[in-house]
Amino acid sequence: MSDAPLNSTPQTGETLLSVEGLSASYGAVRALDEVSLNVPERGLCAVLGANGAGKTTLLRTLTGLHRATSGKVRLAGEDITRLPTEKVITRGLAHVPEGGGVIIELTVEENLRLGALWRSDRRDRTTLDEVMDLFPPLVERRSRPAGTLSGGERQMLAIGRALMARPKVLLLDEPSLGLAPLITKQIFSLLRDLRDRTGLTVVLVEQNAAGALSVTDHGFVLNQGRVAAEGPSDGLLADDRTRHAYLGF
**Per-residue DSSP letters for 174-186?**
-TTTT--HHHHHH
Q: Does 113 bind other proteins (CB under 8 A)?
A: yes
In angstroms and rounded to an integer, the radius of gyration of the C-alpha atoms of the chain is 17
Q: Does 177 bind other proteins (CB under 8 A)?
A: no
Beta strand residue intervals within the chain, DSSP E: 15-26, 29-40, 44-48, 70-75, 78-79, 93-96, 169-173, 201-206, 218-223, 226-232
Measure the CA–CA gap between 249 and 108, rounded to whole angstroms.
37
Q: Does 20 bind other proteins (CB under 8 A)?
A: no
Residue pair 219/48 in contact (Cβ under 8 Å)? The answer is yes
Give the range of 14-22, 93-101, 180-188, 236-244 binding other proteins by CB under 8 A.
93-101
Q: Does 86 bind other proteins (CB under 8 A)?
A: yes
What is the length of the chain?
249
Give the range of 35-43, 158-166, 203-211, 213-221 binding other proteins by CB under 8 A.
158-166
Q: Which of 105, 124, 133, 196 binds other proteins (CB under 8 A)?
A: 105
Q: Does 134 bind other proteins (CB under 8 A)?
A: no
Q: Does 97 bind other proteins (CB under 8 A)?
A: yes
Residues at the site binding other proteins, with contacts judged by CB under 8 A: 63, 65, 84-86, 89-90, 94-95, 97, 101-106, 110, 113-115, 117-118, 122, 161-162, 165
